[in-house]
Structure 1
Amino acid sequence: MKKNKILALCLAVLMAAGLAGCGSSAGASDVPDGDGDPTTLTVAMECAYAPYNWTQSDDANGAVQIRDSSDYAYGYDVMMAKKIAEALGQDIKIVKLDWDSLIPAVMSGDVDCVIAGQSITSERAQKVDFTEPYYYASIVTLTKKDSAYASATCVDDLANAVCTSQLGTIWYDICLPQIPGAEILPAQETAPSMLVALNSGACDIVVTDRPTAQAALVAYPDFTLLDFGGGEGDFEVSEEEINIGISLKKGNTALKDAINEVLSTMTEDDYNAMMDEAIKAQPLSNQ
């Protein structure tokens, strides 16, 4: 009888421990997370797309060290990632990936999210979820000041131009084909290589977004920015294609809602002020 009581007591203790374990597991699932570490916001970006993000050798301006690297990342996206992580009470970790690897990293759970100047397109939204926009980027054209296209006032004025842009962007896939008779060169792997192509004379124009173009003007004073004003003569793009969002794994509503709550405290003026700060800090002018 005594042995039975002891056995019953042991079973009760084990059951209580099991229930406690279940309770803590359920609590952990409520923590906004995507990569299995709820204490850290792990963010992927190119670290090569100024002024959104870039790589530098030190922690100047509050740059964050890149995972598995002695280098640091900074820019608008890092500033935004730090703001979100602070609001969520998490540490911040930056993961440097090439453009085509960003969404797969979210889908696989290697990172919590991507903050990398991504347009919220329907094609991407089939693979990942997006937050509300954290920036609104208009489409512009860059050419050299002495170019035959420097006085262009609409897309039709760019007719027959030799052009390129960055791989996997709406600039290359959606905008360049709208130029009458355009000679479209192969897409460039990164935004910097796109700018080098223009500077070297390999092409007449590149199409990009305004922040990238504004940063480029600092580094390349021979460039001029063409803004067609968003009217009838401009590139035809949808709102989803110029709204920039943060991508997360499908179904991760806890993290999506948490990030949206942080973004809801900011205005478009706040975004523009932060972008202006990033443009001033970006290293392109030192190249």
Structure 2
Amino acid sequence: MKRMFLVLTLIFSLVLTACSNASYEVKEGNTLVVGLEAAYAPYNWTTQTANDYTVPLSGQPGAYVDGYDVVIASYIADELGLVLEIKAIEWDGLIPALQAGQIDVIIAGMSPTSERKQTVNFSTEYYRAQQVMVVRSNSTYADATQLSDFSGAKVVAQLGTLQDDLIEQITGALHQTPLDSYNALTNSVLSGVADAFIAELPVAMSIVQSNSNLSYVNFSGTNGFTLSEEDVTTAVALRKRDAALLDAINGVLESLSTETRDAWMLAALSRQSE
């Protein structure tokens, strides 16, 4: 009897392993589980108020998520006939959650960097943005026009992001220990612990809208960061084995014009500031 139990346990384990390694089936009615932070406005943020754009957060009764990523996720799910589910996961846990099968895709304002491409696949871009510096409005850095103006400044960024790597391009900057969230980054600059942090333009616009004591510096021409194509784009992250889902998502994204994407981002910024 004990031997039979062990055999059944082994079979059950093999079945679970096979299922966990199966590729996603793009079939009408299937659930698409999306992972994001729900704390990266205007891409995504948590709200207690439902509207035409929000989606309930899985496992968090009464909580909803809104933002540009949510609009993109909803559009993809609708176009493919899938049922959308969204989970809030901390930034550093997103790729591990994807690999573990807890989510099917990441739609979280994530840049398709070379390092990330070693472990996951990325769709074509669904947004493109500039990198800017967020500073106190009354600081000397508010009038900066080029990166060299931040020599000697205490600069910080979010942990595990492109922005943290970009600090190395600022000659003479004092690279601060990266922080977990944009709330922490905002508080660091407001309190004077840091002089500036780096963010994508839409994120900076969202933060400045909510904090009158902050402003952002946008560089022109060659005065700013040296960026590769992957540094200015955001894309959907998927498991390597989900080729069919990748093709389907790319097909949906191809139908979106730049004008539509920009309009959706502006609308997200408007909702976030309310």
Report the TM-score range of the alignment, normalised by the length of the smaller protein: 0.7 to 0.9
SS at match of 1:163: strand
- Mapped to 1, the partners of 2:81 and 2:52 lie a distance apart of 21
Code of the aligned partner of 2:79: A
1:207 is matched with: 198
1:13 is matched with: none
SS at match of 1:123: helix
Note closer, same or farther for the CA distance 1:167–1:220 as it changes in structure 2 (3 Å cut): same
Which of the residues 33, 44, 55 maps onto 1:42? 33
Conserved in 2, the CA contact under 8 Å of 1:77 and 1:116?
yes
Q: Is 1:232 aligned with 2:222?
A: yes
- Mapped to 1, the partners of 2:24 and 2:35 lie a distance apart of 22
Q: Give, in angstroms, the shift of residue 141 of structure 1.
A: 0.8
Which segments of 5 or more consecutive residues in structure 2 lack a partner in the other structure? 1-21
Code of the aligned partner of 1:158: F
1:34-92 C-alpha deviation (Å, 9 max, x unpaired)? xxx96111100000101000111132243111111111111111111001000011111
Conserved in 1, the CA contact under 8 Å of 2:24 and 2:245?
no
Q: Is 1:155 aligned with 2:163?
A: no
Q: Is 1:221 aligned with 2:212?
A: yes
Conserved in 2, the CA contact under 8 Å of 1:31 and 1:38?
no
Note closer, same or farther for the CA distance 1:182–1:212 as it changes in structure 2 (3 Å cut): same
Which segments of 5 or more consecutive residues in structure 1 lack a partner in the other structure? 1-27
Code of the aligned partner of 2:48: S
Divergent runs of 4+, >6 A: none
Which of the residues 87, 111, 114 maps onto 2:103? 111
Conserved in 2, the CA contact under 8 Å of 1:120 and 1:242?
no
Q: Is 1:31 aligned with 2:25?
A: yes
1:91-124 C-alpha deviation (Å, 9 max, x unpaired)? 1100110001111111122111000000010100
Q: Is 1:130 aligned with 2:137?
A: no
Alpha carbon RMSD of aligned pairs, Å? Answer: 1.9
SS at match of 1:133: strand
Q: Is 1:197 aligned with 2:188?
A: yes
SS at match of 2:222: coil
Q: Give, in angstroms, the shift of residue 210 of structure 1.
A: 0.3
Conserved in 2, the CA contact under 8 Å of 1:119 and 1:244?
yes
2:160 is matched with: 168
Code of the aligned partner of 1:179: I
Code of the aligned partner of 1:44: G
| Sequence identity percentage | 36
Conserved in 2, the CA contact under 8 Å of 1:42 and 1:95?
yes
With normalisation by structure 1, the TM-score equals: 0.84
Conserved in 1, the CA contact under 8 Å of 2:156 and 2:198?
yes
